[in-house]
Amino acid sequence: MGAICPLGHDVASTWNSLIAGQCGIGYVSLFDSAPYDVKIAAEVKNFEPTKYFGSKEVRRLDRVSQFGLVAAREALLDANLKVAEEDMWDTAVVIGSGIGGIMTLTEEHRIMIEKGPRRVSPFTVPMMLPDTITGQVAIHFGIRGPNICVVTACASGVNAIGEAFEMIRAGRAHTAVAGGTEAPINAFSMSAFHNMNALSDYNDDPLHASRPFDKTRSGFVTSEGSGMLVMETLERAQARGARIYGEVLGYGCTDDAFHITAPNEFGPAMAMRKALKQAGLTPRDIDYINAHGTSTVLNDLNETRAIKKVFGDAAYDVSISSTKSMTGHSFGAIGALEAIFCLKVINAGIVPPTINLNTPDPECDLNYTPNTAVKKRVRTALTNSFGFGGHNGTLIVREFVE
């Protein structure tokens, strides 16, 4: 597993911050926010790309690709996997990104307006395309198998892992680097989200701005980062003597077919049902849910209703948390990060909290693990990701037992 996000530059530091209830949200430093309505975000702090890449390469990699490569490198090192020549055609790269290189796009557009079209960088297109990150991972690590970028808004990370799972099950690859990456913190992106009333209005209190399931929630907080997994068939992992964090049991993928931005409960409920059916599990088998839990009024309410619809009375017994209360919402990356969190919950026996849950919404009345992490034996975990366009993805992972 590999991660870089507002809580840390690797999986270990991110996890330690998460279970401590630390918040990665603060005032924007990546651009001058003074003229804009939104002044808070969850940035990857103290990120120095030249620590990982040469100065020339840095100039040709959008921040979204830099994050993805950093997380992929950690995941491959953690898996002790160097892709051999005989395996490179059967190793896949499946990575989600909802927006891609928007920093490059907006900066080069500014240059064109201010200095003329001839000053636009010839590297603009390969830096801004969402699928650039999959190509960069392939180039950096010598992976020549199936190479796919998943663009399903905020469901992209879960969908990427789910599609890699299906690819391996179908025999189209025996190994995959799968996950998500995003770097959307700029004035244009955040202004667009603000103008559709999606973002939190707690500009004066960033540490408490993301408050999923709380009655006073007002929107999500934009975030950035990347999460990556190395996925393999069980036979290959065991033959290599790999450390196995868990196994993927089920994947559900649906669309609401309802509204381009507003959610409803039926699509998410069916995604969970599909994942449970494929896994051969009942709701009572799920010990933990990492909720999509964005801190928007509609999402948190509809996800709660969807969980109740699927789980029935068991909805009140399962432990739930929204880690976006600490990480913010990194769109295409967040589902992959939250899949990592589920695997860490299983391995560490600790459920991370939903911080800032001080005034519970009466209509959101499940066990969201308010404010403090809880020790708990977790064998099976479910994570949800939902995105604009009505996209829904659910992934179920379980403890691996020899």
Each residue's pLDDT tens digit, 217-267: 999 999 999 999 999 999 999 999 999 999 999 999 999 999 999 999 999
CATH number of the CATH domain containing 388: 3.40.47.10
Please indicate, yes or no, whether residues 148 and 277 belong to a single structural domain of this protein: no
* Residues 324, 295 contacting (CB under 8 angstroms): yes
Please indicate, yes or no, whether residues 88 and 213 belong to a single structural domain of this protein: yes
Please indicate, yes or no, whether residues 98 and 24 belong to a single structural domain of this protein: yes
Please indicate, yes or no, whether residues 265 and 236 belong to a single structural domain of this protein: no
Last residue of a domain, one of 197, 223, 240: 240
Among 212, 173, 179, 396, CA closest to 304: 212
In this prediction, residue 402 carries a pLDDT of 83
Cα dihedral angle (20, 339, 14, 366), rounded to 10 degrees? -20
The encoded tokens of residue 142 equal: 């010598």
Residue whose structure tokens are 């909805």: 315
Positive or negative: CA dihedral 235, 236, 241, 247: negative
Burial of 208 (0-12, 13-18, 19+ CB in 10 A): middle
CA distance 343 to 153: 23
Q: Looking at 9, 174, 329, 391, which residue is catalytic?
A: 329
Residue whose structure tokens are 């919402």: 329
pLDDT, mean over the chain? 97
The encoded tokens of residue 150 equal: 């998943």
Mean predicted confidence (pLDDT) in 209-221: 98
Please indicate, yes or no, whether residues 118 and 164 belong to a single structural domain of this protein: yes
CA distance 51 to 139: 19
Grouping H, G, I as helix, E, B as strand and the rest as coil, residue 220 is strand
DSSP label at residue 352: P
Rounded to 5 degrees, φ, ψ at 207 are -65, -20
Please indicate, yes or no, whether residues 216 and 255 belong to a single structural domain of this protein: no
Can you name the residues that pair with 391 across neighbouring β-strands? 255, 387
Please indicate, yes or no, whether residues 154 and 269 belong to a single structural domain of this protein: no
150-167 confidence digits (pLDDT tens) = 999 999 999 999 999 999
Burial of 374 (0-12, 13-18, 19+ CB in 10 A): middle
Grouping H, G, I as helix, E, B as strand and the rest as coil, residue 370 is strand
Residue 364 among the catalytic residues? no
Among 264, 305, 250, CA closest to 392: 264
Residue 154 among the catalytic residues? yes
Please indicate, yes or no, whether residues 220 and 305 belong to a single structural domain of this protein: no
Residue 235: half-sphere exposure toward Cβ, Cα within 13 Å: 4
CA distance 91 to 70: 19
Among 247, 249, 238, 298, CA closest to 272: 249
* Residues 348, 314 contacting (CB under 8 angstroms): no
Please say if the pLDDT value at position 329 is more than 90. yes
CA distance 387 to 96: 12
User: pLDDT category, 119, cuts 50, 70, 90?
Assistant: very high
CA distance 332 to 152: 8
DSSP string, 191-211: HHHHHTT-B---TT-GGGS--
Please indicate, yes or no, whether residues 233 and 265 belong to a single structural domain of this protein: no
What's the structural domain count of the chain? Answer: 2
Cα 95 to chain centroid, rounded: 11
Please indicate, yes or no, whether residues 229 and 331 belong to a single structural domain of this protein: no
CA distance 63 to 74: 17
Last residue of a domain, one of 193, 208, 240: 240
Please indicate, yes or no, whether residues 235 and 260 belong to a single structural domain of this protein: no
Task: Report strand pairing: 391-398 vs 247-255.
Answer: antiparallel
Q: 382: domain range?
A: 247-398
Mean predicted confidence (pLDDT) in 60-64: 98
DSSP label at residue 225: E
Q: Looking at 5, 23, 149, 154, which residue is catalytic?
A: 154
The contacts of residue 225 (CB under 8 Å, 6+ apart) are 3, 4, 5, 6, 44, 67, 71, 181, 182, 327, 330, 333, 337
CA distance 87 to 230: 14
Please indicate, yes or no, whether residues 100 and 179 belong to a single structural domain of this protein: yes
Mean predicted confidence (pLDDT) in 201-215: 97
Residue 329 among the catalytic residues? yes
The contacts of residue 100 (CB under 8 Å, 6+ apart) are 62, 64, 128, 129, 130, 131, 132, 133, 151
Last residue of a domain, one of 171, 206, 240: 240
